[in-house]
């Protein structure tokens, strides 16, 4: 099954059925996205008016297309999709993305239309993503079928499976403009008349471009198959999943969104654990944990050291590590503790977590954080380090190259930077550090929460 998805992720030729020259319409935005990502394959446009769009010939019907095109994106009203599938199949197009909504997620009439789709798919043997999807992205092939205005999508090693169109649209727009990591593949699976989460997961499992897999689902089409694939995959690649519809209210909303059927959440939770899937409960973690994983390795364990310019932060974060995030804040080796004490005035008793304020004030921000971070990075009891950076005009703005240098010197230990600082310097630090491979987080809880998720991935990966 995974092999048959190649035409979606590596299409040599694509037909856009419903292409238009009208700006801000879906059939135009998809063309702008394809061109912005420098797709090098053949592009065929179909619109009953014919003519040309953006200098490319427009065919007036699917039947006029040459045979053997790899893939079609159909942007037509719901009632026209079944016939379009049959016409594409007649021209030898065997991979189709259906953008339209208005199917079983809407009403009884939509359910009938979806049944017609399923019949057309079954009778023609084509592979279909959707309907009710915003498409998919494959940056290794410089291609996207998203119809939301995205522009260029940076290439990375994170892949998404989403039972929602927003990951290929406005969430991806945020990632491309607000973060500094890229993606390998993104698929909005929509109503799953054919290609489902198991098919895509199987493809990602063997995909050399995909380092980690993030999933948003509201229902499982084939739970047993999905879990079997995941059980094997999670020994090699992390799978992180947010399950929508886990409450009565969420389940009701999911039904309105993708016609999803809910299951007992406790059963789902147990099955995910057995398959080694790390479950998350916050939407933002689909982005924050991806950012961390794209830049840094999985932590070797759950033992963290954090350095803060505030005793209250140390206390509060230690409480949260132990109470909510299953993170250890272990004692350091005596040699590490002694080094911390050497760089600090004697009135501060140094230990883990590290009160770096006095050292930073006496010796300077750069010296305090650099020497403090190196002391805990060297310590064999520590798996990851979180510096809470104090950067203001008054206290000093260090050259943050030392953080990059430490990350390269200790590549097996993730460094996640967060701040208690002046906003303009936080933004500048993010702009400097992230393109150099060090992820940053604006809120001080975020890197620890991410570390908790990724430590769980490591635990599943190393399971017997």
Kindly provide the b/e burial profile for residues 361-400, where b requires at least 16 CB atoms within 10 angstroms of the residue's own CB. Answer: eebebbebbbbbbbbbbbbeebbbbbbbbbbeeebebbeb
Distance CA 377, CA 385 (A): 7
Starting at the edge strand that comes first in sequence, how are the strands of the sheet with 42-46 ordered?
Answer: 52-53, 56-59, 42-46, 13-17, 71-74, 95-98, 127-129
Average pLDDT value for residue range 234-259: 73
How big is the CA angle at 180 (ends 178 and 183), to the nearest 5 degrees? 100
Is residue 301's pLDDT more than 90? yes
Confidence band of 22 (pLDDT split at 50, 70, 90): very high
pLDDT at 1 over 50: no
Q: What does the pLDDT average to over 280-309?
A: 97
Residue ranges per domain, the chain? 2-293, 297-461
Dihedral pair phi/psi, residue 120, rounded to 5°? -65, -40
**How many residues are given for the chain?**
464
pLDDT surpasses 60 at 258: no
Q: What is the pLDDT of residue 434?
A: 98
How does pLDDT run across 358-413, given as a tens digit for each residue?
999 999 999 999 999 999 999 999 999 999 999 999 999 999 999 999 999 999 99
The two three-digit tokens of residue 91, written as one number: 């021209």
What is the model's pLDDT at position 138?
Answer: 98
Q: Does residue 369 contact residue 398 with C-beta atoms inside 8 Å? A: yes
Model confidence at 257, pLDDT cuts 50, 70, 90, reads very low
CA separation for the pair 71, 76 (Å, rounded): 16
For residues 233 and 260, the answer to whether their CB atoms sit within 8 Å is: no
Q: Of 200-204, 227-231, 244-248, 260-264, give the lowest mean pLDDT range.
A: 260-264
Q: Which residues contact 227 (CB under 8 A, 6 or more apart)?
A: 271, 272, 274, 275
User: 457 is written with which tokens?
Assistant: 């991935």
DSSP label at 127? Answer: E
HEC-encoded secondary structure of 212-258: EEEEEECCCCCHHHHHHHHHHHCCCCCEEEEECCCCHHHHHHHHHHH
**Mean pLDDT confidence for 166-178:** 92
DSSP 4: G
Is the distance from CB of 174 to CB of 154 less than 8 angstroms? no
Say what the pLDDT of residue 247 is: 65
> pLDDT tens digits, residue range 410-438?
999 999 999 998 999 999 999 999 999 99
Mean pLDDT of 10-25: 97
Q: Does position 128 have pLDDT exceeding 80, yes or no?
A: yes
- Contact assessment for residue 66 and residue 47, using Cβ atoms and an 8 Å cutoff: no
CA distance 90 to 84: 10
- pLDDT of 361: 93
Q: What is the pTM of this model?
A: 0.94
Assess contact for 293 and 238: CB atoms under 8 A: yes
| pLDDT for residue 262 is more than 80 | no
Give yes or no for residue 260 having a pLDDT over 60.
no
Residues 335-342 have a mean pLDDT of: 98
Q: What fold, for 297-461?
A: Rossmann fold (3.40.50)
Residue 204 and residue 212: Cα distance in Å, rounded? Answer: 9
CATH C-level class of 2-293? alpha beta
Q: Do domains 2-293 and 297-461 have the same CATH topology?
A: yes
């Amino acid at each position: 099954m995974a092999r048959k998805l190649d035409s979606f992720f590596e299409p040599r030729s694509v037909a856009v059925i419903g292409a238009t020259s009208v700006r801000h319409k879906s059939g135009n935005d998809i063309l702008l996205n394809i061109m912005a990502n420098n797709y090098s394959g053949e592009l065929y446009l179909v619109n009953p008016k014919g003519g040309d769009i953006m200098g490319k010939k427009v065919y007036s019907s699917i039947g006029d297309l040459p045979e053997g095109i790899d893939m079609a994106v159909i942007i037509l009203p719901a009632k026209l999709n079944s016939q379009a599938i049959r016409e594409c199949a007649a021209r030898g197009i065997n991979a189709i993305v259906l953008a339209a909504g208005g199917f079983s997620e809407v009403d009884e009439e939509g359910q009938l239309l979806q049944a017609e789709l399923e019949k057309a798919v079954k009778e023609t043997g084509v592979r279909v993503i959707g309907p009710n999807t915003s498409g998919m992205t494959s940056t290794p092939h410089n291609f996207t079928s998203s119809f939301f205005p995205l522009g260029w999508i940076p290439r990375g090693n994170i892949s998404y499976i989403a039972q929602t169109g927003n990951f290929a649209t406005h969430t991806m727009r945020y990632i491309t403009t607000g973060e500094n990591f890229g993606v390998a593949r993104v698929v909005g699976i929509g109503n799953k008349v054919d290609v489902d989460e198991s098919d895509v997961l199987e493809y990602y499992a063997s995909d050399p471009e995909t380092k980690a897999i993030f999933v948003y689902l509201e229902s499982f089409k084939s739970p047993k198959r999905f879990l079997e694939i995941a059980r094997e995959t999670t020994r090699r690649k992390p799978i992180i999943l947010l399950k929508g519809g886990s409450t009565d209210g969420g389940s009701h909303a999911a039904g309105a969104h993708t016609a999803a059927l809910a299951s007992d959440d406790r059963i789902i939770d147990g099955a995910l654990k057995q398959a080694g899937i790390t479950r998350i409960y916050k939407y933002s973690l689909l982005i924050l944990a991806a950012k961390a994983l794209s830049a840094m390795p999985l932590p070797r364990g759950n033992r963290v050291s954090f350095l803060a310019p505030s005793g209250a932060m140390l206390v509060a974060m230690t409480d949260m590590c132990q109470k909510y995030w299953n993170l250890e804040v272990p004692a350091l080796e005596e040699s590490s503790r002694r080094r911390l004490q050497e760089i600090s005035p004697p009135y501060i008793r140094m230990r883990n977590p590290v009160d770096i304020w006095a050292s930073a004030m006496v010796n300077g921000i750069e010296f305090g954080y650099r020497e403090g971070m190196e002391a805990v990075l060297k310590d064999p009891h520590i798996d990851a380090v979180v510096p809470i950076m104090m950067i203001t005009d008054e206290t000093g703005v260090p050259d943050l190259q030392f953080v990059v240098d430490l990350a390269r010197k200790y590549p097996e230990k993730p460094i996640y930077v967060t701040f208690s600082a002046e906003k303009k310097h936080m933004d500048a630090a993010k702009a400097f550090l992230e393109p150099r491979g060090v992820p940053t987080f604006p809120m001080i809880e975020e890197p620890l929460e991410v570390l908790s998720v990724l430590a769980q991935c490591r635990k599943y990966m190393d399971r017997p």
